[in-house]
Structure 1
């Protein structure tokens, strides 16, 4: 595991190592303590700290919709990564597989309430979580260009509960909280623990997964706690592919070197995934305490890529077209003629007289001219000699994430509470690509490359105060105010030389850089940074016994684009004994990220003509971007309305229903690919971008469009005795609709449809969890509405990917008080999305790649849990 040892890395590792060493010394006395036999009375599952800075309120008493997800709910499902777990339990949280999607393979973008993945603010123990270094250049339409936090680095074993605030909250918490806030609350137990081992596999017999996880809580003197968590996971890749039409034609033509399938669509291989979390607290006095928590995580992921055809892949095999009237109509159309082979001269002075007119035919390997003048000629070279069946790169990388938060909080005189903390976070992605070449290096090319690294670093200082004021109201007026300073940087580090080197064959039409993901050149690397300050004030009080009002105001000033002020007002009215109404209006914003404003990258994508293209993403202020309409990014602005009803009946039935409407202007996304002219390429070359001749298109980040998203969330819970045991019923329903109100010419019609219709309009899950003695049985019915997919993002519309039902089943048995065995199945009846009958032959994808139920089918698992 090759990891950059920054100062933050060393600090985090030191903290975790010291905590682990302490745990070894403290384990014996902890285990010797007698276990408590009575259940604790605290009911934290229904109390949230997010959404209000007054005294924590229950879900039913909150003025805004909040979901509370207990640690047990995460344990009682088949998903193993945090993103998929969240999708299972939060209906408006959507994520799909990313089988071939560049950096999205490493960090899957997830969507809350129909917004992009970086429209949701993520907190841990109430503190802002840093962003991922990964920018999802291909994010399935909705999240194209998003750069959000990577929540998959958080192990479920470390959690006490998760709070999901489904309401705009930028006025309370700052940038990104347009869709809402997710707060991961860490386990703070000072004793006991658990160890879990899990194995799972897909019904198809692939994707084998092994996961080990543990948690231990220990006292820190008599006045504190140390809680440590760890998780290790590996998973094999999957394949849900059919043979591509062009690969099948090559095989039919006699090329026996082509793989079957030539291109693999499926989940990537997780070679290793290590997660460590530590949470510490210490009471300093009757009125103060200190806290510290942090994490270190590292994983390596490798997935598939697009097949490179050995006859016509540009910059590798493609020698152009010999114009000819193939169809016999007397007119030679554009690109009508015979495909020629690209042949390089290795002499250095072009004295090899290498052929440039070899027609590839059905199989160029059988062409006698190729055999005589290329294969058996040391002066001439074609990549068919070393890669006769073409090639399919394997793309992935190593993601490293670390954080350290420490602070103190307590109470001063006059009922003033304070919380002062320092938050350090860093995320690094080191891209890797193998089974590919730098074509310009000819036969001397390596086949594995490290094309570059990106590092996102953030440091945050928070100072918060609260105080109740007696104003003659039913409750004291709680006033909170505070200050935040945040510094962030985004660093690009060049890849290895071979990944961007301009080889001797570059002037002969061969591509430059590691094919599929060219390395970041040394002259393009660098670091950019910015800082911002924020001041906020919010207030909350029950004006009467049944009516609560809350308001918030926040001012932020960024060093790179200016300031903004946002506000929020909310109410809750207990209209009847069992029924209350609630609502909120807020304005919000999302600042453009440093990565979006400054990143340079090259991705391989399908063009509208069905051929692979290399698309360069340039900063929006780059001269070529400006030539094509690029300009400096500005913040996204939002207005959000929420209105709902809460019903809490004496029978135990609890129901919430909330309508939301979110208008976002100047949304940031990557422009649809813009074709480069010869003049554009010349300008790039003049700028020193020497590999510009390899680019077919450019893209850049832009404030591209305005949207209105509305929806309804319904949550219901009910418990009853039945069949000699207890059964808990729950329903979570979501309807979401997005309309693109206005869009620039940079966004295609297909992208607009993806934004509006690529997420299911209706999604719900109904769960029954029955406990009877030592047995527990869980059944969950999931529904996903139909979607639209622009297949391969290349104007290949699948107008309706049909709606689907899936069922999750789980049976658990307590072998003893400490040990539980669980068997289960996710998507138990092995449902698949509608087959991709229209375009499967183009790239070999058997199913629509953005299907909300995934493309892998049923998954079964066996889990053993030991608690102490």
Structure 2
């Protein structure tokens, strides 16, 4: 008998599900996971399955998920089926509103490697820098890949730097594109939230055809969708109208009466025929329009001894996010002749994501050779609308092109592999080389988007702003000439990877990788793993590996000004400066160096007959010199301005300064449990799928703070940044999916438990624990070939995160934090699918 101890917090999920079943007729979809399924990630041997692999691997079939799942983009699909995967939409966070950060096991987005068909996928050009999970990191835009183009997704939940590259510290996501032929598929989805916003319209088309007489194919996907904004605002307690010159106004005793400011605002609202609701901030999901095409091509030749292959695609996204509303109470940021009642600025994105891979496979005797080149590019341009450059006064435009950033990556691989059947019970040997070029640039915005025209250079050389008017486009300041950069580097790596079946029961795997960065030197990564079959149905496995991650070009060279809530609880300009900058040198901020990691894992897999399987894996990941963003220099731990630092950064248009630093060491420990039960009896089919993740992140040892900054530990790495790492993602996350099918009907009932998380708004707020929540999905599908109709809901019980305590809400502006399941609420949808053979 196997006993599994389940934390008390997970019992909420079981209890909630039992109650839901009393009221809901649970009607099946085929299992989306199967321990006997062959996998391609985590091994270069053929025929490995989830049951006999040396590392934990999840496999999710997108075509099956997309029939019943209420989620429509790739990040959200994985959020609800993979317990170790985390991604939620952000609000009022500049670029992170348009590209959702994603991670596994609570580690950074840049510690997760994404592959397509086994080839490295480029990251985005965006640095997450607005206090979101993954703050200071660079991830991969999974939503740029049409879900309809994907056959399945394999998630390797183990360190794999030695196998795939130095940034595979947390694990690897391998996306396998569709290869189906002689088929046309289409799906139309429409949906809306329970509050009547966030409307979705989505169309996807997939077509596959055979090529030649040796099994070639071409599969093409087109997808387009539009997602409306959501509004989760509430009244706030900010002062609406300018009262700076009314201190002695006879009707309002501002000095002795705390309510006088509110009374004045209320009187002005009545006089202008306005309501306090008219001055709420726009808080919620951004509006997104996205279109993309993807293809997957294979052309075998030479009697199938050789194969030419290619895949890639193009995605174009327009987003409209919202910055902090500029209330008319602040004359330094307003032009009253243009916006007499202030304005709600928008940050609009134009994102181009392009990729193409070409390759040639060829059998050289008993060896399999693979030569490929993969090129990927992500370009992000900003426009700021419904705003002003206050320093231009009446001459200010209301729309600005604010510049942008771009990241290009080109990867060339040459790989060889062979199976030696005569060595022990079998040896698979692979080796190869990789050459990669990274290129990063920041482009300047138009002059009015970044310049402050009110600055005056005095005879003594000092720069002052006697009018106090703010420069640049309000909400998102354009990239200035000082931010413009164009840098590149190259990386050369060689690897060897072996899997030895010592006996029919005992498998040993080893890999080593030597990498040389043109800007960070040479490092060696290794991995040793083993799996032993105690019986035909029970395996134990374990692994140990180390990794090396050089700072990305983005982390080395990104600089910008952005509007943020400063440590004194006011809106102001926060500057991001490079480590070689004069500001960084003046403060003693050191240059960046590489992160290093060590991973350990131990677990087992088991199955009972053909119906039930389970895997349990524990893990431990230590990361040294982890790259993080510092806090805001320019203020002390009490939120008071520090004149000596302000004197350095104010002429640069900033009130605070942040940097990247190898500031901390972290340890991540946890356990994953994945179990499936499948049953088929005549026209009835049933599947129960359980996924559970317990994950604990903590900061170990002391801060790596420069000697000159001793005493400023809470500024160097602030409590709010610390809590994002240790408690920003749920410590416990679990999902239980039940699918039942009868003839033409199928039903999905899924409960996902998002454990508690914490947020801190230091220095003006407090630590708040957001309690765990259960989100319920329910959908019903009816198939009348070739058409399938599905109706259902995500979060049908309309569950939200806990409301923020007042001290963390910026005077009541932010009703909810962007945590756990986000603030979408219930989302209802209808989907029409069609599948036509040809």
**TM-score (structure 2 length as normaliser):** 0.87
Tell whether the 8 Å contact from 2:646 to 2:655 is kept in structure 1 after alignment: no
Where does residue 821 of structure 1 map in the other structure? 789
**Alpha-carbon distance in 2 for matches of 1:683, 1:609:** 18
Where does residue 544 of structure 2 map in the other structure? 585
How do residues 465-480 of structure 1 correspond to structure 2 at under 5 angstroms? 465-470=416-421, 472-475=423-426, 477-480=427-430
- Pick one of 783, 793, 810 that aligns with 2:753: 783
Where does residue 831 of structure 2 map in the other structure? 863
Tell whether the 8 Å contact from 1:624 to 1:680 is kept in structure 2 after alignment: no
Note closer, same or farther for the CA distance 1:720–1:308 as it changes in structure 2 (3 Å cut).
same
Note closer, same or farther for the CA distance 1:797–1:46 as it changes in structure 2 (3 Å cut).
farther
- Pick one of 44, 49, 59 that aligns with 1:68: 59
Where does residue 391 of structure 1 map in the other structure? 343
- Pick one of 312, 319, 323 that aligns with 1:294: 312
Per the TM alignment, residue 43 of structure 1 is displaced from its structure 2 partner at its CA by 9.2
How do residues 470-619 of structure 1 correspond to structure 2 at under 5 angstroms? 470=421, 472-475=423-426, 477-504=427-454, 507=465, 508-619=467-578
**TM-score (structure 1 length as normaliser):** 0.84
- Pick one of 82, 88, 93 that aligns with 1:101: 93
Tell whether the 8 Å contact from 2:739 to 2:747 is kept in structure 1 after alignment: yes
- What is the count of residue pairs matched by the alignment? 750
How do residues 745-756 of structure 1 correspond to structure 2 at under 5 angstroms? 745=713, 746-756=716-726
Per the TM alignment, residue 846 of structure 1 is displaced from its structure 2 partner at its CA by 5.3
Per the TM alignment, residue 789 of structure 1 is displaced from its structure 2 partner at its CA by 1.2
**Alpha-carbon distance in 1 for matches of 2:771, 2:681:** 36
Show CA shifts across 1:554-602 (max 9, x none).
0000001111100000000001232110110000122211111011111
**Alpha-carbon distance in 2 for matches of 1:231, 1:134:** 23
**Alpha-carbon distance in 1 for matches of 2:491, 2:810:** 47
- 1:458 corresponds to 2:418: no
Where does residue 268 of structure 2 map in the other structure? 254
Where does residue 171 of structure 2 map in the other structure? 180
Note closer, same or farther for the CA distance 1:846–1:488 as it changes in structure 2 (3 Å cut).
closer
| Unmatched runs of 5 consecutive residues or more in structure 2 | 1-29, 241-261, 457-464, 636-641, 706-712
Where does residue 632 of structure 1 map in the other structure? 591
Show CA shifts across 1:492-536 (max 9, x none).
111112212342576422122112221112353231000010000
**Alpha-carbon distance in 1 for matches of 2:699, 2:454:** 48
**Alpha-carbon distance in 2 for matches of 1:849, 1:723:** 48
Tell whether the 8 Å contact from 2:627 to 2:663 is kept in structure 1 after alignment: yes
Q: Secondary structure in 2 aligned to 1:675?
A: coil
Where does residue 411 of structure 1 map in the other structure? 363
Q: Secondary structure in 1 aligned to 2:65?
A: helix
- Pick one of 804, 811, 814 that aligns with 1:836: 804
Q: Secondary structure in 1 aligned to 2:440?
A: strand
- 1:648 corresponds to 2:607: yes
Q: Secondary structure in 2 aligned to 1:57?
A: coil
**Alpha-carbon distance in 2 for matches of 1:794, 1:462:** 49
Q: Which has the higher contact order (CA 8 A, sep 6+)?
A: 2
Note closer, same or farther for the CA distance 1:724–1:294 as it changes in structure 2 (3 Å cut).
closer
Per the TM alignment, residue 440 of structure 1 is displaced from its structure 2 partner at its CA by 1.3
**Alpha-carbon distance in 1 for matches of 2:834, 2:131:** 39
- 1:853 corresponds to 2:821: yes
| Unmatched runs of 5 consecutive residues or more in structure 1 | 1-38, 318-382, 685-690
Between 1:597-606 and 1:726-735, the stretch displaced more is: 597-606
Q: Secondary structure in 1 aligned to 2:336?
A: helix
**Alpha-carbon distance in 2 for matches of 1:480, 1:495:** 48
Per the TM alignment, residue 222 of structure 1 is displaced from its structure 2 partner at its CA by 2.8
**Alpha-carbon distance in 2 for matches of 1:45, 1:408:** 29
Per the TM alignment, residue 795 of structure 1 is displaced from its structure 2 partner at its CA by 4.7
How do residues 300-379 of structure 1 correspond to structure 2 at under 5 angstroms? 300-312=318-330, 315-316=332-333
Where does residue 329 of structure 1 map in the other structure? none
Where does residue 69 of structure 2 map in the other structure? 77
- 1:797 corresponds to 2:814: no
Per the TM alignment, residue 253 of structure 1 is displaced from its structure 2 partner at its CA by 4.1
**Alpha-carbon distance in 2 for matches of 1:731, 1:513:** 51
**Alpha-carbon distance in 2 for matches of 1:724, 1:464:** 47
Show CA shifts across 1:6-34 (max 9, x none).
xxxxxxxxxxxxxxxxxxxxxxxxxxxxx
Q: Secondary structure in 1 aligned to 2:278?
A: coil
Tell whether the 8 Å contact from 2:569 to 2:764 is kept in structure 1 after alignment: no
Where does residue 282 of structure 1 map in the other structure? 299
- Pick one of 283, 293, 301 that aligns with 1:265: 283
Between 1:70-79 and 1:767-776, the stretch displaced more is: 70-79
- Pick one of 685, 710, 720 that aligns with 1:726: 685
Where does residue 779 of structure 2 map in the other structure? 810
Show CA shifts across 1:763-814 (max 9, x none).
10101111100000110011111111125x7652342111111110010001
Q: Secondary structure in 2 aligned to 1:48?
A: coil
Backbone CA RMSD of aligned residues: 2.1
Between 1:550-559 and 1:643-652, the stretch displaced more is: 643-652
- 1:423 corresponds to 2:374: yes
Where does residue 743 of structure 2 map in the other structure? 773
**Alpha-carbon distance in 2 for matches of 1:530, 1:478:** 33
Show CA shifts across 1:428-448 (max 9, x none).
000121121111111101111
Show CA shifts across 1:749-770 (max 9, x none).
2322221112111110101111
Where does residue 696 of structure 2 map in the other structure? 737
Between 1:746-755 and 1:609-618, the stretch displaced more is: 746-755
**Alpha-carbon distance in 1 for matches of 2:616, 2:496:** 29
**Alpha-carbon distance in 1 for matches of 2:72, 2:385:** 27
**Alpha-carbon distance in 2 for matches of 1:174, 1:607:** 38
How do residues 133-212 of structure 1 correspond to structure 2 at under 5 angstroms? 133-140=125-132, 142-212=133-203
Between 1:105-114 and 1:178-187, the stretch displaced more is: 105-114
Tell whether the 8 Å contact from 1:789 to 1:850 is kept in structure 2 after alignment: no
**Alpha-carbon distance in 2 for matches of 1:665, 1:253:** 58
Where does residue 441 of structure 1 map in the other structure? 392
Per the TM alignment, residue 175 of structure 1 is displaced from its structure 2 partner at its CA by 2.2
Q: Secondary structure in 2 aligned to 1:104?
A: helix
Q: Secondary structure in 1 aligned to 2:163?
A: helix
Per the TM alignment, residue 851 of structure 1 is displaced from its structure 2 partner at its CA by 2.1
Note closer, same or farther for the CA distance 1:523–1:800 as it changes in structure 2 (3 Å cut).
closer
Where does residue 375 of structure 1 map in the other structure? none
